[in-house]
Structures are given as structure tokens and as C-alpha cells.
Structure 1
Amino acid sequence: MSTDADPSTPAGLTVPDVLAADTPPSTTDGVEHADVVVVGFGIAGGCAALEAARAGARVVLLERAAVHGGTSSLSGGHFYLGGGTAVQRATGHDDSVEAMIAYLTASTKDPDAEKIRAYCEGSVAHFEWLEALGFEFERSYFPGKAVIQPGTEGLMFTGNEKVWPFRDDIAPAPRGHKVPVPGDTEGTRIVMDLLRERIEEAGVDVRYETGATHLLTHDGTAAGDVAGVAWRSFERTGVVRAGAVVIAAGGFVMNADMVARHTPALGSKLFTLGSTYDDGLGIRLGQSVGAQLENMDEPFITAPFYPPASRVKGVIVNKLGRRFVAEDSYHARTSAAVLAQPDATAYLIVDSEHLGESHMPLVPLKDGFETIEEMEAGLGMPAGALVATMTRYNEMAAAGDDTELHKHPDWLAPQTAGPWAVLDLSLGVALYAGFTLGGMATTVDGQVRRTDGSPVPGLFAAGACASNIARDGAGYCSGTQLGEGSFFGRRAGLAAAQALAGARGTMGG
């Protein structure tokens, strides 16, 4: 059912009409035929198109932008992979499929057991598939605490594997595999460029500046089997009838109406991480045929206060002067905890010995103080609260045992070398950035599910417009989006191609 005709529906929430495959609208370019249509050329769509083509399907890949890459090309280049990859083995890090499954299950909100197991069991093979595109992850390890490796090191911890309570029962292993590009921006470009080359070699028909506008179904109703897409490119329009459609069109962080409805935390106080086309259209296309949506209220939001890593040895408190999160948590977990505090207000207190110099000041200096008593008064905290917190923390740090929040001993150090700096982690002050995690419900092979749980025949989804492993900011591991986008994109493309045996008889071409 479409909301196109309802003038009260905000533009950003409008669900496109479903069109009938046998009576397409008037178009400038008419009706074409393909086996599989893929919508979106980011990491998920690119991998879907390549696998479908390699399986023998005739593939049309539509991309609204003038170039390939999507939001994937804006990332630093982490892929969350494990279970014994070549980089893990070369750097002396033992990992197993079962350990990876246990960690992702324990750290993820409402974990999807089937998808986690498939992802972990297929992780080493997926690592090898990525390298077969034409590059290698460097066989080296970065041991520090950072958002992303500053150099070309191929491996680091990018989650909470070494954070309590996970480290107690599950042997920690680093799984953040970074492409061999120094720095923290556009690291995935090398992968996307190689993916484009492989796609061209496979004969995929790639069309830039061309966006899907509607889904086609055989009977023209939302309950029908998906049979292709209608598209627009400037003033040109057309229809591609196909046995299967894979939507990989990104998230909805750039759609103010969808953000306001589903994830209001991603409001005006944050810097949005996305491309122009992360407007939720792919999700709304899915809604046009009854797709169920999952985790739409869960964003990824973060404002890293490190590097320098020495600041992790500091103390994080809320406006009441109390600790509430282990400071060695991965930055997204810390940020999620900050947002849950009164007025989303929090401070990092670091003494002169551990402050260091930041080259990425996302968390600004609020003030400096000669004594903790002056700091407590200057921050307007209850009398004695911060003094008690700091005294207790310094005692535990000196003993090497954080009995309150179980911060790892490696990151415990008394904060006694005055003067002290206060860095402001509060929402609206620190430069928080975020993106959306929710999307269409899918099977392990990417087939879109309707609200009653049944699959939508002919429709698949992957990447940021689908809900897979990454389900909340507190449990997020950097590299999950690229990892699951490429992995489940491949599965969706292959499943779409395999579905053609039954679909070709009804396509009329």
C-alpha cells in the first residue's frame, strides 16, 4: 500500500507505489529484461552484483551517484573478520569460529544466532575472497588503543573483546582487519576500485546516475512477487523486468523525517556519517511490498576521546560525579553509556601525566583545575561526590584492580599528578557522529521478510538498508558494517541468481 496520495505524510516517509510488471508506465526507454537487478553500488551491492554475475546471471547494477562506492568509500577500511585469518595467524593471535560466535552473541543486542554463525563460519573464506579481488591485508598488528590504525597495520582490536565481562569467559582476539592504506579516511576506496574492475570483467551492466524509483510485482500489488524495478536517470525513465531484485541502497541517516521518527538521537547535535543517498529510499522500496523493519531505533553514535591512548587511563564521570562505564571500553560502547546519563552529560578527567596531545580533538577541553575540590565545585557537582570518586579510583588503580567497573589492569593508573584537565564528553559539546543500524528484516541469504515472517518472493536486501549482525551502538565493533555488508551482499547476490530457475518461467523473457 502506498502513501503517495496522502498529503499529510512527510516527504521523507513516503512509500513509493508498486507497479505492475505486465503493464509498466509510459517510459522514454521502454522495458528491458535482466536476471538480477541490484540497487546501489556500495560494498554490499557491488559484492551482490559480482556474485550473481559469477553464478551466471545477467545483472544490471543501478547507482544514483556518478561514481561507485557509496558510503562504503568514506570509511576507514575496517573489516571485522576472524576465526583464524591469515593475518591473525601471522601475528600470533589465536582465534576460533566458536570464540567469535560467543563474543558476537554476548555483545550484541537481540543477536541473530543463524546469521552470526554463518558469518563466523564463513569469515576465513570471506577474508580470502576479499583478498582475491587483488589486494592483501598487511600481516602486521597494531597493539595500541586507537579508532583506526594510523599506518597500514593489518590488524587491531576494534571491539570490546578485552573489556569486562566479555574477556572473562571468551578468549579475546583482535578482528579489525584494515586495508593497506594509512590513515583513517577513504581506506575502502582501494577495495571498491578493485570490486569495480572485477564487476566489469564479469560483464555486469553498471548504470551510474540512475536510481530505482519503484518495485514491480507480477500483479501490481504489494502482496505480489517482485519482478523488477522502474528507474529514472535525469529525464529518462525505464523499466527492467527481472527474476530477482537486490536492494543495497544504504541507510537513512540523511533523511530527517525518518531520523525524527525512528532514531531521534541522531538529531541536529550530531555529525551524520553518510552520503547524500543515505536517504532511506531502499528501505521505503521494501516497505512498498510489506517488508518488516528491524532495529530502526538503534543508531551508532560515537565521539572518541582517544588517541592518545594514555587518556584511557583517566576517569569518566557523569554530572553527579559518578563513574558509569569502564574507560577502556571501545569508543562506541562508551558513547552509548554517555547518552544514557542525565542530560547526556559526562566528563573525562585526566591528570597532567596522562593528558598527552590530541591530533583529533573531537572531545574538547572544558577547563583545567589545580585541585579535585575546585573541579567538583566548578562543574557544579554534589559536594564531596567527585572527591570520593577520584579517591576511590586512585586507590583501586594503585592496587591494580578496578573492583567497581572492572577496567582492565593495563589501563589503570592513579590520576594524582595535578593540575587536572576536564574534557567534555557531553552530547552537543563533543563532536558526536553517527549513522543508522536498522533496516529490512532478511533471511541469512538476504531474502526480505514481510511483517508476518514470510519471505517476499524475488526481493533481497543487504548492507545498511538491511538488519543483520550490527544491532546497537553499545555492542558495535568497527568493521562490522563493511564485513557484514560484503558477506551478506555476496550471499544475497548468489541466492538471487539461484532463484532464477523458478523465476524465468514467469518473466516473459
Structure 2
Amino acid sequence: MSDGVDGSLLLDAVAVESWATMADVVIVGFGMAGACAAIEARATGASVIVIERTSGCTGSTSAAAGHFYLGGGTAVQKACGFEDTAEEMARYLEAVALDPDYEKIRFYADGSVAHFDWLEAQGVPFDRSYYPQKNVVQPGRECLIWTGNEQVWPYREKARPAPRGHKVAFDGEEGGGALALRILSERAEVAGVEIMADMKVEALVQDGGRIVGVRVRRFGETNYVRATKAVVLAAGGFGQNPDMVAQHVPILKSAYVQGSPHDDGLGIRMGEAAGGVAIHMDEPFLTSPFYPPEDLLKGILVNRDGRRFVAEDSYHSRSGIFSARQPDGIVYLIADAAIFAYPHFASLTNQSLIDGFETIAEMEAGLKLPEGSLQATMAAYNAHAANGEDPAFHKYSKWLKPLTEAPYAAFDLSFGRAVYTGFTLGGLKVSASGEVLNEVGGAVRGLYAAGACASNIAQDSNGYASGTCLGEASFFGRRAGRHAATLT
């Protein structure tokens, strides 16, 4: 896999005849991570150039609803009457992480309140309001929402639950991310950051093992940009690179992949060419949400064997990845007449209503499940739910109800039939300060990474929460920008 004129992603400085321009810090990408890195680097007094492949304010951030996963006692949490501490936030993130990086988690949790205040100081708006329903995203301007598995077993026993999804004040389900990015981009420009738009970074330039710049191409013209201190990669994920998806996360080949057309993994591949290593590349975010309405959480999900496999009150990416990994991907949502409703996103996700059935035995036969399997599952579930219990998966009592009112309905959530949406989560291994790390844990001198091309808090679909990507991109983007600006 190659890019650029000669196919190389790493060049030696001796091949550079002249530098078109230079700055202390050169940032590749002007999304959430790049914008925050630029603001912070500039705040140290460093000169900053941001190189952006598009005309600006695009990428995955612009398509996001605008959640930031923040806690520890933010002004919004306090205004809405929720107690939270950095310690409890860290405990939760450690509990859900696939491979917890305790140092990063502690930095993120301890700095969460100050980071929220920083975002507001830049002009990003957040209302002091709470959205109490179980939903994928608030339909209006409401700010605070439960976006993870804080109330889901076993995590609710490992850390005191608190809602930490902070949505940018924006009317509608989409647009908050674009608003936040526009505001932060403008702040960067006002601070004196030079923006080089409509320009593709093709390769890194090294000198004696240190990254000292990049090769760029714009409208067929090749030039070189010098970084006297460091280069920060903030170039997005790899979901739009079919070869990388097939190699690392083939499950996404059967899903609709979100992200910018330029999420081609180039930032990750350049980092690897410079000696960095990529981690968690085989872990996607994957979802096909069956709620709202929230009453459908009182239903059960069963596989081809007629068995439950996950707590239905899980955050939708947790239930989504569990569903996609069931035998043959076959999954059905079972509801009774008391809770029946069409999933809010059914028209987008093709979660079709298979049929209605007067008895569980008829449903079992209609779905071609093993004889007696669904009947046994429902009998056990109903008996325990009548007592407010779920010993198999410990679904929260709020969502427990015996499913006994005929007729019964089955929706098809099978992977490959229903539409699943996803994006990549793997990226370059970086330190808590954003330094790209090599195989032995040493820093690649002069090279940093943040956002979707780096691996930080978001590691897999099971532990994901809405707002983690924007939260970590902005937080660790700032750290990378600040550290890069002070590199000697």
C-alpha cells in the first residue's frame, strides 16, 4: 500500500531540496483533535501550521451529534443534581476498558472538569439541562444524558453511576459536532494558527531518526513543510480504506461505515512507517439501536438458539457488537403487546417486524428456533422478572417486566439483514502526552498523534460511550499540542 509520488510514507531530509514554509508545530488534520492541538500549541507561544486535506470543518466530527464524555462534577452535572467525582469516573472507565491504560484514564478523569470549562471558554455552548429518557441522542438542546453502560451490570457495582454525556447546545439530533468544530476552528485561526487547506500530506520527513516535517501535495504541486519542534498526526481513522478494513476489521465490510471520505488510515500508516505501532486495530464500534422507545428495553434479544446473550439495557454499541457476533449473526427482539412499538430508527436500520404470534410456541416455530428453546427462555425470564430479578444478565430492575401479554412480536436485528453502523477504533499507540510509541515503548522523536488515528480511551464497542471520541480527541489533542510545542 503506497501513497505519494514515489510510494514512500517516510523520507530522509537529505532528499529535501528546500522547505516551502515552516513552523514550530505542524498538525496534520483540522478536525476536533487537530483544532484543539493547534489552540493549545499556540497558547504556549509556538508557531503552528495546520494542514487540512479539505476546505475545513469536515471529517467525522462534523457528522457527530456533539456529545463529549466528561464527568467528575462538571457545572452541568452539578446544575442537574448529579454527584460525580474523578475517582468514580476513572473506576468506570477502567472497568469497561478492553485494555485499561490507567495513566491516561486518570489524566482524563482528573482533568475532565477543567476540560469542560476550557471548552466553554472557547465558546462551545452547553445548556444546564438533563434528558432523562433512554435514547441514542437527545432530540433537542438538552445537554446531560446517560450515554454509556454506567447503570449496566457489572459496571454499576464497580463505580457509582452518573450521566456523563454532554451534548453541545444544538436543536436536533445532528449538528452539534459541526458547531463545536466550527467554533474551535475559528478560535485557532484567531489565535494565529496558519491553515493550509485543500492540501494532502503524503509523507513524513525524518532527520537522524527525528520527524522534522512533511511532504505535501496541492493541485499537483509538491512541497515540503518544516516542523522545528514536532508533527502532530490528527488525520482520522481508516474506515474508508477497504484494504485496511478487510485486514483488520472485516466485520465492518457488512456494515455502513461512518466517517469522512478521507478516513483512509494514512495518518496511521505514516506513523507506522516512522516506527510507531498501531493497537486495537481489530476492534470496531458497531451498532443497530433498537431503542427508543425505551420501553423496548423491556423486551429480550435472542439468538438462533432461542437464548439471550446480553443485558438488553446495555448501551446500544454493547448490545450491537454482542448481536453481530452471535452464531450466523441471527438476532431477534421479542416484545409483547404491552410494550410493542416500532424502533425509532427502524426505517434506517431495516429492523423489520417479522410477524405477530398468539403464543410463544408459535413464535418459536415461526422463527425456526430449536423446539422448546424460546419457550424455556421466556418462561425463565418471566418468572424472574415477576420478582424484579434477572439472574442471567442482571438487567436493571427499571427494565424488567414479564412478557406475558399476547400477541407477541419479533423484530429482525440479524447482522447482515438489519443495517449496522460502525467506525474504526484502532490507532497508533501513544503516550498520555500524545507521543507516538514504538514497539519497545519508546517515543518516536518529534511525532505525536491524537484523535481517531491514535488509541486512547475508546478501545472497543463493548466499552464505548457516546462522547468518548470527541471527549478524548479534544482532551488528548490539547495534551499533544502542548507537549509538542515544548519539545526541545
Distance 2:262 2:302 in 1: 38
- The code of the aligned residue for 1:263 comes to V
Pick one of 224, 229, 232 that aligns with 1:246: 232
Superposition deviation, residue 22 in structure 1: 4.1
Residue by residue, what CA displacement relative to the aligned partner does 1:140-169 show, whole Å, maximum 9, x if unpaired? 111111001111111011000000111123
The residue that corresponds to 1:8 in the other structure is: none
Superposition deviation, residue 69 in structure 1: 3.3
Distance 2:57 2:391 in 1: 50
Is the Cα contact below 8 Å between 1:16 and 1:285 reproduced in 2?
A: no
Distance 1:183 1:403 in 2: 38
The residue that corresponds to 1:391 in the other structure is: 379
Change (3 A) 1:328 1:359: closer
> 1:149-298, aligned counterparts within 5 Å?
149-219=138-208, 224-242=209-227, 243-267=229-253, 269-298=254-283
Superposition deviation, residue 67 in structure 1: 2.2
The answer to whether residue 61 in structure 2 is matched with residue 75 in structure 1 is no
The residue that corresponds to 1:441 in the other structure is: 429
Residue by residue, what CA displacement relative to the aligned partner does 1:333-382 show, whole Å, maximum 9, x if unpaired? 11111122111211110112212244321222222222111110011111
Superposition deviation, residue 34 in structure 1: 1.0
The residue that corresponds to 1:24 in the other structure is: 16
The answer to whether residue 55 in structure 2 is matched with residue 66 in structure 1 is yes
> 1:291-330, aligned counterparts within 5 Å?
291-330=276-315
- The code of the aligned residue for 2:428 comes to M
Pick one of 124, 132, 152 that aligns with 2:121: 132
Distance 2:49 2:158 in 1: 47
SS in 1 for 2:440: coil
Distance 2:342 2:302 in 1: 21
CA RMSD after TM alignment: 1.5
Superposition deviation, residue 25 in structure 1: 5.6
SS in 2 for 1:478: coil
The answer to whether residue 288 in structure 2 is matched with residue 339 in structure 1 is no
Change (3 A) 1:305 1:375: same
- The code of the aligned residue for 2:65 comes to G
Is the Cα contact below 8 Å between 1:351 and 1:420 reproduced in 2?
A: yes
Is the Cα contact below 8 Å between 1:350 and 1:415 reproduced in 2?
A: yes
Distance 2:124 2:41 in 1: 22
Change (3 A) 1:25 1:314: farther
SS in 2 for 1:486: helix
Distance 1:444 1:487 in 2: 10
- The code of the aligned residue for 1:156 comes to I
The answer to whether residue 482 in structure 2 is matched with residue 497 in structure 1 is no
Distance 1:196 1:91 in 2: 30
SS in 2 for 1:188: helix
Runs of 4 or more off by more than 6 Å in structure 1? none
Residue by residue, what CA displacement relative to the aligned partner does 1:192-228 show, whole Å, maximum 9, x if unpaired? 1111111111111101111111101114xxxx10001
The residue that corresponds to 1:450 in the other structure is: 438
Paired residues, what number? 483
Superposition deviation, residue 68 in structure 1: 2.0
The residue that corresponds to 2:420 in the other structure is: 432
Q: Unpaired segments of 5 or more residues in structure 2?
A: none
Residue by residue, what CA displacement relative to the aligned partner does 1:416-463 show, whole Å, maximum 9, x if unpaired? 121111111111111100001101000000000112211011000000
The answer to whether residue 448 in structure 2 is matched with residue 460 in structure 1 is yes
- The code of the aligned residue for 2:301 comes to I
Is the Cα contact below 8 Å between 1:283 and 1:439 reproduced in 2?
A: yes
Distance 2:192 2:236 in 1: 24
Is the Cα contact below 8 Å between 2:91 and 2:158 reproduced in 1?
A: no
- The code of the aligned residue for 2:393 comes to L
The answer to whether residue 46 in structure 2 is matched with residue 57 in structure 1 is yes
Is the Cα contact below 8 Å between 2:57 and 2:178 reproduced in 1?
A: no
Pick one of 82, 94, 99 that aligns with 2:83: 94
Pick one of 116, 122, 140 that aligns with 2:105: 116
The residue that corresponds to 1:477 in the other structure is: 465
SS in 1 for 2:469: helix
Is the Cα contact below 8 Å between 1:15 and 1:285 reproduced in 2?
A: no
Distance 1:71 1:426 in 2: 27
Superposition deviation, residue 186 in structure 1: 2.4
Is the Cα contact below 8 Å between 1:140 and 1:153 reproduced in 2?
A: yes
Q: Unpaired segments of 5 or more residues in structure 1?
A: 5-10, 503-509
Is the Cα contact below 8 Å between 1:44 and 1:462 reproduced in 2?
A: yes
SS in 1 for 2:216: strand
- The code of the aligned residue for 1:316 comes to L
SS in 1 for 2:332: strand
Change (3 A) 1:22 1:202: farther
- The code of the aligned residue for 1:216 comes to V
Distance 1:434 1:289 in 2: 28
The answer to whether residue 409 in structure 2 is matched with residue 421 in structure 1 is yes
Distance 2:255 2:195 in 1: 34
Distance 1:148 1:486 in 2: 20
The residue that corresponds to 2:338 in the other structure is: 353
- The code of the aligned residue for 2:344 comes to H
Distance 2:326 2:12 in 1: 50
Distance 2:131 2:203 in 1: 46
